[in-house]
Amino acid sequence: MSPQPKTTINNYLSLIKFSHTIFALPFAVIGYFLAIHVTHSPFSLKLFGLIVLCMVFARSAAMAFNRFIDRKIDEQNERTAVREIPAGTVKAKAAFIFVIVNCILFVATTFYINSICFYLSPVALTVVLGYSLTKRFTSLCHVVLGIGLSLAPIGAYLAVTGQFDWLPLFFSFAVLFWVSGFDIIYALQDEEFDKSKNLKSIPVWLGKKGALILSTVFHLISSGFIIYAGIFAAFNFWYWIGVFVFTGLLFYQHTLVKPTDLSKVNLAFFTTNGIASVVFAVFVLIGLYF
């Protein structure tokens, strides 16, 4: 039998779906290296580490808050009843304390980066925590999630430069529509349940077919921003290989999910998008330095 501390850690990692950090983290890495490339700044392991910590703390707070605030809903949904709080492996009070601790750690970490990141940290937390409430009143909850993750590239860029710029914003807009699009696909699984509980989502609003069409439109827009960023910055051949892979995988996931067949939603949601973000980041970095 595994020792209890390891079990507890695993429960919390599962609570926050730590593996899903793979979606936004590569874009934070892009934002960081883009900034040091543009400003000709030296690589700072300390600053890079602080940026990664900010990503981990903010996302951990957001996911744990989502699980805490949705605990009553989750226990009524067969798909989510196995989650840690409904299942009893993590207590609701402990999850809430976990949220507070991660919020404090996030703000404290931004203090050691620069003043603009520190001053904007409450805004970032408001967005990433506020997402969990949105499905109670708006079908555009997926867009709010997209906004939350879109802070990764511009946030990392700000950590280095202390100022806004167009290029990282193009990547942020790409993340916004990319995440919004694949979250719509993921939400297809709960369309009937959400209807029964008067919860809002794009699938509830438009139905499965309409939701998949809008998801495709969002991914077209995301691809447009990725392409425009490459033209705007005159990136080299390596970048365009990354664009080809990223956009190809975005649209490949739409071949996996049909209104009448949701059996491959998890493959489309996690595997395809995780590979897309990592591969794209690798080619962007190669393009910046080779």
Burial (Cβ within 10 Å: 0-12, 13-18, ≥19) of residue 1: exposed
Comparing CA positions, the residue from 183, 162, 160, 173 lying closest to residue 229 is: 173
Number of domains, the chain: 1
Cβ atoms of 61 and 106 closer than 8 Å: yes
User: Are the CB atoms for 27 and 277 separated by under 8 Å?
Assistant: yes
The answer to whether the CB of 161 falls within 8 A of the CB of 10 is no
C-alpha 277/C-alpha 285 separation (Å) is 12
Give me the CATH number covering residue 238.
1.10.357.140
Q: What is the pLDDT of residue 5?
A: 46
pLDDT tens by residue, 6-39: 467 777 666 666 556 678 899 999 999 999 999 9
Q: Judge residue 156's burial from the number of C-beta atoms within 10 Å of its C-beta, 0-12 exposed, 13-18 middle, 19 or more buried.
A: buried
> 245-269 b/e with 16+ CB inside 10 Å = b?
bbbebbeebbebbeeeebebbeebb
Mean residue pLDDT across the chain = 92
What's the length of the chain? 290
pLDDT in tens, 214-273: 999 999 999 999 999 999 999 999 999 999 999 999 999 999 989 888 888 887 778 889
Is residue 1 over pLDDT 60? no
162-214 pLDDT, tens digit per residue, is: 999 999 999 999 999 999 999 999 999 999 999 999 999 999 999 999 999 99
126 membership: H or E segment, kind and range: helix 115-134
Contacts of 78 (CB under 8 A, 6+ apart): none
The string of pLDDT tens digits covering residues 77-91 is: 999 998 889 988 889
Domain that holds residue 17: 4-289
Q: Supply the pTM of this predicted model.
A: 0.92
Residue 261 phi/psi, 5° resolution?
-145, 105
Rounded distance, CA 76 to CA 85, Å?
12
